[in-house]
Chains A and B, each alone.
Chain A
Amino acid sequence: MIKKELICVICPNGCQLQADIQEGEQPAVTDVTGNLCDKGPEWARQEIVNPMRTIASSVLVEDGDFPMVSVRTDAPISLKSIFDVMGEIKAVRLNAPVKIRDIIIAKVAGLPCNIIATRNVQKVKSLNQ
């Protein structure tokens, strides 16, 4: 059994939590202390067993007024799947125009999460046209 310290990020109180963890293939959280409200222990469990994150990145766009469109996950994904998701994001090439909230990759890396555009990219005439 090991103890791990975490700072909860749900609200500005930033409670310093201490979690007791049963190690093994599937780590289990047996106890959490230091929380001022009852959201803390659930967050700590999730954070230790399977931390979830949202990420933002960029996708190449041809003929746009920006060279890349900024994108993000529209739902949290597990920390360990981040680099798989990045791999798919890096492979995409789009053509302008792109609109905010356009789905760039649906169900990225097989996860229940889409990669969506976060800015508008207008089409501009490139020098080659």
Chain B
Amino acid sequence: MSDQFDVLIIGAGVVGNAIARELSRYRLNIGVLEKEQDVGMGTSSRNSGVIHSGIHYKPGTLRARLDVKGNSLMQDLCRELKVKVDYIGKLTVAFDESDVKTLERLKEQGEANGVPGLEMLDADQMRKKQPDVGGIKALWSPSTGIICPYGLTIALAENATSNGAKFILGQDVSSIQQNGQGFVVRTANGNAFTTRVLINAAGLFSDHICEMLGINEYRIYPCRGEYLILDKRLKVRLSVLVYPAPGHGGAGLGIHLTNTVDGNILIGPSNEYIDDRDDYASTAAVTDQLKKEGHELLPGLSISDFIRSFSGIRPKQTSPQEGGFKDFVIESRRDIPGFINLVGIESPGLTSAPAIALMVRDMVEERLPLVKKDIFIAERQARVGTFSELSPEEKADLVADDPDYGEVVCRCEQITKREILDAIQNPMGNRTILGIKYRARAMMGRCQGGFCLPRIVEILEKEFGYRPEDFILNRPDSRLFAGRVR
């Protein structure tokens, strides 16, 4: 394994991967170190998947500037990477006069940030966009969209890999030394990597990386958000995103419903500061609260409509007492030349990722010559969406060409064997069950793998020689099985 790089990025989340992809346009030896067994296992995959318009951020901040820029870049990026994105628009709804004033302020703020297409709508106009929505007025932001967050994170990594970036998984950085030409980065499993430029994109652990270089001014306060996922077949379809005006009537979590780009509905997220930045548990109290507020928003929900819960952890820079948000930290450290530091990239980090990548590229250019490659593979070799979303005629053609498309493995989501095989044979070399799940969309349906996991296990066993001890869920000790029966 190569261990000398021009640029080494710590953290294969959406930000780290966007940077890697952008830098892979240039003749640079790029490495990405990731402590988990796959990319995007942290905050990047665990969020609402919303592409924010930019109305909520103070003009002049990085959050405002990078969000609006990232938003405008996202559609082309997704087209190249074959990632589903849908600019469905958002209604921010006012229920009383004080809310209306809030909306007017937001509109001004958005316009100052360069957000396109903002409009105040009256009740009739609102209900044309979303029938039976409540409220008296709404701010319409057409540039709000939804995206598959793990789909984007994985696609960025795969495309960066196609363009020569090296992703090294299972590398938990334990110490960093400066050595005159750059940095020596050591990992817990005894590896050492050298690099001229070091980029900290470690998300929830970015403050730990800072401390390794003697930078003690940052601290991450993990703040967990829990979600419930609802079944795709709910007849209530949200055509657009609907949020209450910020600060509207405080009781509860201010829960909203979000469409996912795959057709599920998310209830959430909640907001809870926690101590352990690795604690993704769901809690009874929050689940009950989410269900209660979900019932208010969608009367007639039944237990069989809930597929599961999940949670994400925000890398907040503000303490529980402070609350609120601090701006992104994206700095090229003068005191540690060659160290580009990103701290506290919480919302709107996903939307901002393409713009952050450009900003970081400029910082890298201050340190290293950036010479464009002759060949950059901009388009990722993949299909947008799943086989199940094709028309019957398109399906028939694919199956006639490749029988593996004819064999459905995940019945709930109608995922075919070909898609499972593609997921197993991914360019990252990830071979975990969750890796297959996030790439193929298997096991995400209402049976949660009850039907397809045995079949996926059989494929891995028969066609890839897996033994029971080789099956892991996500981390090295998350073994699925305990050996053979006989």
Contacts and interface: CB of A to CB of B under 8 A. Distances in A.
Direct contact of A and B (CB under 8 A): yes
Interface of A: 58-60, 67-68, 90
Nearest to A59: B486
Nearest to B486: A60
Contacts of A67: 486
Interface class of chain A by DSSP: strand
Contacts of A90: 486
A95 to B, nearest CB: 14
Interface of B: 485-486
Contacts of B485: 58, 68
A58 B486 CA distance: 8
A58 B484 CA distance: 12
8 contacts: A58-B485, A58-B486, A59-B486, A60-B486, A67-B486, A68-B485, A68-B486, A90-B486
A59 B486 CA distance: 7
A119 to B, nearest CB: 15
A68 B484 CA distance: 11
Nearest to A92: B486
Nearest to B462: A127
Nearest to B461: A67
A86 B167 CA distance: 49
B349 to A, nearest CB: 47
Contacts of A59: 486
A115 B485 CA distance: 18
A49 B486 CA distance: 33
Contacts of A58: 485-486
Contacts of A68: 485-486
B485 to A, nearest CB: 6
A90 B486 CA distance: 7
Nearest to B465: A127
A54 B486 CA distance: 21
Contacts of A60: 486
A86 to B, nearest CB: 12
A65 to B, nearest CB: 12
A120 B38 CA distance: 42
Given A58-B486, A90-B486, 6 more contacts: A58-B485, A59-B486, A60-B486, A67-B486, A68-B485, A68-B486
Contacts of B486: 58-60, 67-68, 90
A16 to B, nearest CB: 34
A16 B486 CA distance: 40
A118 B485 CA distance: 18
A60 B485 CA distance: 9
A90 B485 CA distance: 9
A99 to B, nearest CB: 20
A60 B486 CA distance: 6
A67 B486 CA distance: 9
Nearest to B485: A58
B289 to A, nearest CB: 43
A68 B485 CA distance: 9
A30 B391 CA distance: 74
Nearest to A93: B486
A28 to B, nearest CB: 40
A40 to B, nearest CB: 38
A88 B382 CA distance: 53
A60 B484 CA distance: 11
B482 to A, nearest CB: 16
Nearest to A90: B486
Ranked nearest first, the 3 interchain pairs of A and B with the lowest CB-CB distance are A60-B486, A68-B486, A58-B485
A64 to B, nearest CB: 12
A2 B10 CA distance: 71
B200 to A, nearest CB: 48
B152 to A, nearest CB: 39
A67 B457 CA distance: 14
B457 to A, nearest CB: 12
A59 to B, nearest CB: 7
A125 to B, nearest CB: 13
A90 B484 CA distance: 12
A84 B486 CA distance: 16
B380 to A, nearest CB: 34
A68 to B, nearest CB: 6
B459 to A, nearest CB: 15
